Amino acid sequence: MIEETEISPQHPRAESLINREKLIKHQKLGIVALAGLIAHGRGEAFDYLLGEKTTENAFKAIKTAAATMLLAKHPVISVNGNAAALAAEDIVNLAKVTGSKIEVNLFYRSLERELAIKRLLEPLGAKEILGVGEAASAQIREVCSERRRVNPRGILVADVVLVPLEDGDRTEALRKMGKTVIAIDLNPLSRTAQWASITIVDNVVRALPLLVKEASILKNERPEKLRKIVSDFDNREVLAKAIKLINQRLSEFSRKGVYISEVIEIYQNLEG
Ligand code: ATP
Ligand code: MG
Protein backbone atom coordinates (compact mmCIF):
# COMPACT_ATOMS: atom_id res chain seq x y z
CA MET A 1 0.00 0.00 0.00
CA ILE A 2 1.48 3.31 -1.02
CA GLU A 3 0.76 6.27 1.18
CA GLU A 4 -0.30 9.46 -0.52
CA THR A 5 0.21 12.91 0.89
CA GLU A 6 -3.00 14.88 0.97
CA ILE A 7 -2.83 18.21 -0.81
CA SER A 8 -5.28 20.97 0.03
CA PRO A 9 -6.96 22.35 -3.09
CA GLN A 10 -6.59 25.76 -1.44
CA HIS A 11 -2.81 25.60 -1.64
CA PRO A 12 -1.64 28.22 -4.16
CA ARG A 13 0.49 25.65 -5.94
CA ALA A 14 -1.93 22.72 -5.52
CA GLU A 15 -1.78 21.57 -9.14
CA SER A 16 1.97 21.46 -9.21
CA LEU A 17 2.03 19.56 -5.91
CA ILE A 18 -0.57 17.05 -7.16
CA ASN A 19 1.60 16.32 -10.19
CA ARG A 20 4.64 15.84 -7.96
CA GLU A 21 2.68 13.41 -5.82
CA LYS A 22 1.62 11.48 -8.93
CA LEU A 23 5.26 11.11 -9.94
CA ILE A 24 6.35 10.04 -6.46
CA LYS A 25 3.55 7.47 -6.30
CA HIS A 26 4.43 6.08 -9.73
CA GLN A 27 8.12 6.03 -8.84
CA LYS A 28 7.25 3.79 -5.91
CA LEU A 29 5.17 1.62 -8.25
CA GLY A 30 8.21 1.13 -10.49
CA ILE A 31 6.84 3.17 -13.39
CA VAL A 32 8.94 6.34 -13.03
CA ALA A 33 12.75 6.17 -12.81
CA LEU A 34 14.46 8.17 -10.05
CA ALA A 35 16.03 10.34 -12.73
CA GLY A 36 12.51 11.00 -14.00
CA LEU A 37 11.83 12.99 -10.82
CA ILE A 38 14.79 15.22 -11.62
CA ALA A 39 13.68 15.64 -15.23
CA HIS A 40 10.27 16.75 -13.97
CA GLY A 41 11.92 19.41 -11.83
CA ARG A 42 13.69 20.80 -14.85
CA GLY A 43 10.36 21.01 -16.63
CA GLU A 44 8.66 22.68 -13.65
CA ALA A 45 11.25 25.44 -13.63
CA PHE A 46 10.44 26.29 -17.24
CA ASP A 47 6.72 26.06 -16.55
CA TYR A 48 7.16 28.76 -13.90
CA LEU A 49 8.91 30.99 -16.40
CA LEU A 50 6.24 30.40 -19.04
CA GLY A 51 3.37 31.27 -16.68
CA GLU A 52 2.01 27.73 -16.18
CA LYS A 53 -0.61 27.95 -18.87
CA THR A 54 -1.04 26.86 -22.47
CA THR A 55 -0.08 29.80 -24.66
CA GLU A 56 -1.66 30.59 -28.02
CA ASN A 57 1.70 29.65 -29.48
CA ALA A 58 1.62 26.21 -27.88
CA PHE A 59 -1.95 25.76 -29.04
CA LYS A 60 -0.89 26.36 -32.64
CA ALA A 61 1.66 23.55 -32.27
CA ILE A 62 -1.00 21.32 -30.66
CA LYS A 63 -3.37 21.87 -33.59
CA THR A 64 -0.61 21.15 -36.11
CA ALA A 65 0.40 18.06 -34.15
CA ALA A 66 -3.20 16.79 -34.25
CA ALA A 67 -3.42 17.36 -38.01
CA THR A 68 -0.04 15.67 -38.54
CA MET A 69 -1.02 12.59 -36.55
CA LEU A 70 -4.33 12.30 -38.41
CA LEU A 71 -2.56 12.51 -41.78
CA ALA A 72 0.16 10.00 -40.80
CA LYS A 73 0.31 6.45 -42.20
CA HIS A 74 2.02 4.94 -39.15
CA PRO A 75 1.76 7.31 -36.18
CA VAL A 76 3.34 6.10 -32.94
CA ILE A 77 3.12 7.55 -29.43
CA SER A 78 6.36 6.91 -27.57
CA VAL A 79 5.75 6.54 -23.84
CA ASN A 80 8.13 6.73 -20.90
CA GLY A 81 7.52 6.54 -17.16
CA ASN A 82 6.86 10.24 -16.59
CA ALA A 83 4.38 10.50 -19.45
CA ALA A 84 2.54 7.38 -18.24
CA ALA A 85 2.41 8.67 -14.66
CA LEU A 86 1.11 12.10 -15.64
CA ALA A 87 -1.21 11.40 -18.55
CA ALA A 88 -1.98 7.69 -18.99
CA GLU A 89 -5.62 8.19 -19.94
CA ASP A 90 -4.87 10.93 -22.45
CA ILE A 91 -2.22 8.78 -24.12
CA VAL A 92 -4.72 5.95 -24.59
CA ASN A 93 -7.41 8.33 -25.84
CA LEU A 94 -5.03 10.00 -28.27
CA ALA A 95 -4.02 6.63 -29.67
CA LYS A 96 -7.68 5.79 -30.23
CA VAL A 97 -8.62 9.10 -31.88
CA THR A 98 -5.59 9.25 -34.18
CA GLY A 99 -5.21 5.51 -34.83
CA SER A 100 -1.70 5.57 -33.33
CA LYS A 101 0.27 2.71 -31.85
CA ILE A 102 1.68 3.07 -28.34
CA GLU A 103 5.29 2.05 -27.77
CA VAL A 104 7.12 2.03 -24.45
CA ASN A 105 10.57 3.52 -24.82
CA LEU A 106 12.68 4.04 -21.74
CA PHE A 107 15.99 5.74 -21.11
CA TYR A 108 16.53 3.56 -18.05
CA ARG A 109 15.27 0.36 -19.56
CA SER A 110 14.07 -2.57 -17.47
CA LEU A 111 11.55 -5.28 -18.21
CA GLU A 112 9.81 -4.60 -14.88
CA ARG A 113 9.29 -0.94 -15.75
CA GLU A 114 8.09 -1.81 -19.24
CA LEU A 115 5.59 -4.28 -17.82
CA ALA A 116 4.47 -1.84 -15.14
CA ILE A 117 3.68 0.77 -17.82
CA LYS A 118 1.87 -1.84 -19.90
CA ARG A 119 -0.20 -2.81 -16.87
CA LEU A 120 -1.09 0.83 -16.28
CA LEU A 121 -2.18 1.53 -19.85
CA GLU A 122 -4.00 -1.66 -20.77
CA PRO A 123 -6.93 -1.37 -18.31
CA LEU A 124 -7.51 2.13 -19.69
CA GLY A 125 -8.32 0.60 -23.06
CA ALA A 126 -4.97 0.51 -24.88
CA LYS A 127 -5.24 -2.17 -27.55
CA GLU A 128 -1.59 -3.14 -27.88
CA ILE A 129 1.50 -1.86 -26.14
CA LEU A 130 4.66 -2.22 -28.20
CA GLY A 131 8.24 -2.05 -27.00
CA VAL A 132 7.97 -4.46 -24.09
CA GLY A 133 10.74 -7.03 -23.59
CA GLU A 134 11.93 -9.03 -26.58
CA ALA A 135 9.38 -7.37 -28.85
CA ALA A 136 11.71 -4.35 -29.04
CA SER A 137 14.12 -6.28 -31.20
CA ALA A 138 15.13 -3.64 -33.73
CA GLN A 139 17.80 -1.02 -33.03
CA ILE A 140 18.27 2.60 -34.02
CA ARG A 141 22.01 2.77 -34.67
CA GLU A 142 22.22 6.52 -34.08
CA VAL A 143 21.12 6.27 -30.44
CA CYS A 144 23.74 5.30 -27.86
CA SER A 145 21.45 4.69 -24.84
CA GLU A 146 19.07 1.81 -24.17
CA ARG A 147 16.44 3.86 -25.95
CA ARG A 148 17.92 2.62 -29.23
CA ARG A 149 15.79 -0.53 -28.96
CA VAL A 150 12.51 -0.20 -30.80
CA ASN A 151 9.72 -2.38 -32.08
CA PRO A 152 9.99 -3.32 -35.78
CA ARG A 153 6.24 -2.72 -36.14
CA GLY A 154 6.28 0.54 -34.17
CA ILE A 155 8.81 3.35 -34.02
CA LEU A 156 11.09 1.69 -36.60
CA VAL A 157 8.49 1.99 -39.37
CA ALA A 158 6.64 5.05 -38.05
CA ASP A 159 6.40 8.16 -40.21
CA VAL A 160 5.25 10.32 -37.28
CA VAL A 161 6.41 9.85 -33.67
CA LEU A 162 4.97 11.77 -30.73
CA VAL A 163 7.50 12.05 -27.94
CA PRO A 164 6.08 13.55 -24.76
CA LEU A 165 9.22 14.08 -22.63
CA GLU A 166 12.11 12.89 -24.72
CA ASP A 167 15.85 12.87 -24.60
CA GLY A 168 17.57 15.05 -27.18
CA ASP A 169 19.76 12.29 -28.61
CA ARG A 170 16.83 10.21 -29.67
CA THR A 171 14.88 13.10 -31.12
CA GLU A 172 17.91 13.93 -33.23
CA ALA A 173 18.24 10.29 -34.33
CA LEU A 174 14.55 10.01 -35.24
CA ARG A 175 14.79 13.20 -37.31
CA LYS A 176 17.89 11.91 -39.06
CA MET A 177 15.93 8.74 -39.91
CA GLY A 178 13.50 11.01 -41.77
CA LYS A 179 10.65 10.84 -39.27
CA THR A 180 8.38 13.70 -38.30
CA VAL A 181 8.87 14.17 -34.57
CA ILE A 182 6.30 15.91 -32.39
CA ALA A 183 7.73 16.83 -28.98
CA ILE A 184 6.06 18.13 -25.85
CA ASP A 185 8.75 19.89 -23.84
CA LEU A 186 8.57 22.83 -21.47
CA ASN A 187 12.14 23.85 -22.22
CA PRO A 188 12.30 25.52 -25.63
CA LEU A 189 16.10 25.36 -25.41
CA SER A 190 16.38 21.59 -24.90
CA ARG A 191 17.87 19.51 -27.68
CA THR A 192 14.50 17.75 -27.99
CA ALA A 193 12.63 21.02 -28.46
CA GLN A 194 15.19 22.25 -30.97
CA TRP A 195 15.40 19.04 -33.03
CA ALA A 196 11.65 18.27 -33.18
CA SER A 197 9.60 18.99 -36.30
CA ILE A 198 6.74 20.28 -34.14
CA THR A 199 7.51 21.47 -30.61
CA ILE A 200 4.68 21.91 -28.16
CA VAL A 201 6.21 24.08 -25.44
CA ASP A 202 3.75 23.16 -22.72
CA ASN A 203 3.28 20.79 -19.79
CA VAL A 204 2.21 17.29 -20.90
CA VAL A 205 -0.51 17.52 -18.26
CA ARG A 206 -2.14 20.42 -20.13
CA ALA A 207 -1.06 19.66 -23.69
CA LEU A 208 -2.17 16.03 -24.03
CA PRO A 209 -5.88 16.56 -23.20
CA LEU A 210 -5.92 19.48 -25.65
CA LEU A 211 -4.26 17.33 -28.28
CA VAL A 212 -6.96 14.66 -27.83
CA LYS A 213 -9.69 17.31 -28.12
CA GLU A 214 -8.18 18.94 -31.18
CA ALA A 215 -7.67 15.57 -32.91
CA SER A 216 -11.34 14.68 -32.24
CA ILE A 217 -12.44 17.94 -33.86
CA LEU A 218 -10.06 17.75 -36.84
CA LYS A 219 -10.87 14.09 -37.47
CA ASN A 220 -14.00 15.19 -39.35
CA GLU A 221 -12.13 17.64 -41.58
CA ARG A 222 -11.01 17.01 -45.15
CA PRO A 223 -7.34 16.04 -45.65
CA GLU A 224 -6.73 19.25 -47.65
CA LYS A 225 -7.64 21.34 -44.62
CA LEU A 226 -5.30 19.27 -42.44
CA ARG A 227 -2.49 19.62 -44.97
CA LYS A 228 -3.00 23.40 -45.00
CA ILE A 229 -2.67 23.55 -41.20
CA VAL A 230 0.60 21.60 -41.46
CA SER A 231 2.04 23.64 -44.33
CA ASP A 232 1.27 26.95 -42.59
CA PHE A 233 3.24 25.88 -39.51
CA ASP A 234 6.73 27.18 -38.76
CA ASN A 235 8.48 25.50 -35.82
CA ARG A 236 11.26 28.06 -35.63
CA GLU A 237 8.65 30.74 -35.12
CA VAL A 238 7.04 28.68 -32.35
CA LEU A 239 10.38 28.24 -30.57
CA ALA A 240 11.24 31.90 -31.00
CA LYS A 241 7.89 32.97 -29.50
CA ALA A 242 8.31 30.69 -26.49
CA ILE A 243 11.79 32.05 -25.79
CA LYS A 244 10.52 35.59 -26.27
CA LEU A 245 7.70 35.02 -23.78
CA ILE A 246 10.19 33.89 -21.12
CA ASN A 247 12.36 36.88 -21.96
CA GLN A 248 9.46 39.36 -21.70
CA ARG A 249 8.21 37.92 -18.43
CA LEU A 250 11.64 38.01 -16.88
CA SER A 251 12.18 41.59 -18.08
CA GLU A 252 8.90 42.67 -16.52
CA PHE A 253 9.56 40.94 -13.19
CA SER A 254 13.13 42.17 -13.09
CA ARG A 255 11.85 45.74 -13.39
CA LYS A 256 9.39 45.29 -10.52
CA GLY A 257 11.65 43.11 -8.40
CA VAL A 258 8.59 41.09 -7.37
CA TYR A 259 6.25 38.78 -9.16
CA ILE A 260 3.46 37.78 -6.76
CA SER A 261 0.64 40.34 -6.82
CA GLU A 262 -0.01 40.29 -3.07
CA VAL A 263 3.66 40.97 -2.45
CA ILE A 264 3.56 43.88 -4.89
CA GLU A 265 0.62 45.33 -2.88
CA ILE A 266 2.56 45.05 0.39
CA TYR A 267 5.49 46.90 -1.15
CA GLN A 268 3.17 49.58 -2.53
CA ASN A 269 1.51 50.08 0.88
CA LEU A 270 4.90 50.37 2.58
CA GLU A 271 5.99 52.94 0.02
CA GLY A 272 2.69 54.86 0.04
P1 ATP B 1 17.47 17.23 -23.99
O2 ATP B 1 17.97 15.85 -23.77
O3 ATP B 1 16.31 17.31 -24.91
O4 ATP B 1 18.53 18.24 -24.32
P5 ATP B 1 17.53 17.65 -21.19
O6 ATP B 1 18.69 16.71 -21.17
O7 ATP B 1 17.72 19.05 -20.73
O8 ATP B 1 16.87 17.71 -22.61
P9 ATP B 1 16.03 15.52 -20.10
O10 ATP B 1 16.36 15.22 -18.70
O11 ATP B 1 16.60 14.69 -21.19
O12 ATP B 1 16.35 17.06 -20.35
O13 ATP B 1 14.46 15.49 -20.28
C14 ATP B 1 13.60 16.22 -19.50
C15 ATP B 1 12.91 17.24 -20.39
O16 ATP B 1 11.52 17.11 -20.20
C17 ATP B 1 13.30 18.66 -20.01
O18 ATP B 1 13.59 19.39 -21.17
C19 ATP B 1 12.06 19.22 -19.32
O20 ATP B 1 11.87 20.58 -19.66
C21 ATP B 1 10.95 18.39 -19.91
N22 ATP B 1 9.83 18.15 -18.99
C23 ATP B 1 9.86 17.62 -17.75
N24 ATP B 1 8.64 17.51 -17.22
C25 ATP B 1 7.77 17.95 -18.17
C26 ATP B 1 6.36 18.05 -18.25
N27 ATP B 1 5.57 17.68 -17.25
N28 ATP B 1 5.83 18.54 -19.39
C29 ATP B 1 6.61 18.90 -20.44
N30 ATP B 1 7.95 18.84 -20.42
C31 ATP B 1 8.53 18.36 -19.31
MG1 MG C 1 18.72 14.81 -22.09
Whether 20 is in a domain gets the answer no
With the C-alpha atoms ordered 184, 189, 193, 197, is the resulting torsion angle positive or negative?
positive
Three-point CA angle 201, 204, 210, nearest 5°: 85
Residue 114 domain-assigned (yes or no):
yes
Instruction: Indicate whether 204 belongs to any domain.
Output: yes
Which of the listed residues 34, 192, 194, 201 should we mutate to test ligand 1's pocket, taking the one with most ligand atoms within 8 A of CB? 192
CATH number at residue 192: 3.40.50.12640
Establish if 112 belongs to a structural domain.
Answer: yes
Counting ligands in written order, the one closest to the CA of 38 is: 1
Of 123, 126, 62, residue with least CA distance to 91: 126
Identify whether 47 is part of a domain. no
Which residues, other chains included, contact 86 with Cβ-Cβ below 8 Å and sequence gap of 6+? Answer: 19, 22, 23, 204, 205
The predicted model scores a pTM of 0.93
Indicate the SS3 state at residue 51: coil
Q: Angle of helix 34-50 relative to helix 235-256, nearest 10 degrees?
A: 70
The verdict on residue 9 lying in a domain is no
Mutate to test the pocket of ligand 1, among 42, 174, 202 (most ligand atoms within 8 A of CB): 42
Domain encompassing residue 74: 56-240
Q: What is the mean pLDDT of residues 21-35?
A: 96
Ligand 1 mean position to 268 CA, how many Å? 38
- 4 burial via Cβ count (<10 Å: 0-12, 13-18, 19+): exposed
SS3 169: helix
Is the residue at 214 inside a domain? Answer: yes
Residue 139 gets the label, from left (phi > 0), alpha (psi -120 to 50) or beta, of beta
Q: Indicate the residue type of 163.
A: V
**pLDDT single digits (tens) 156-186:** 999 999 999 888 888 999 999 999 999 999 9
| pLDDT confidence band for 29 (50 / 70 / 90) | very high
Q: Indicate whether 172 belongs to any domain.
A: yes
The average confidence (pLDDT) of the chain is 92
| For the CA of 169, the nearest atom of ligand 1 | 2
Question: Considering its fold, how many domains does the chain have in total?
Answer: 1
Rg (CA), the chain: 19
Does the beta carbon of 36 lie inside 6 Å of ligand 1? no
Give pLDDT tens digits for 92-117: 999 999 999 999 998 878 899 999 99
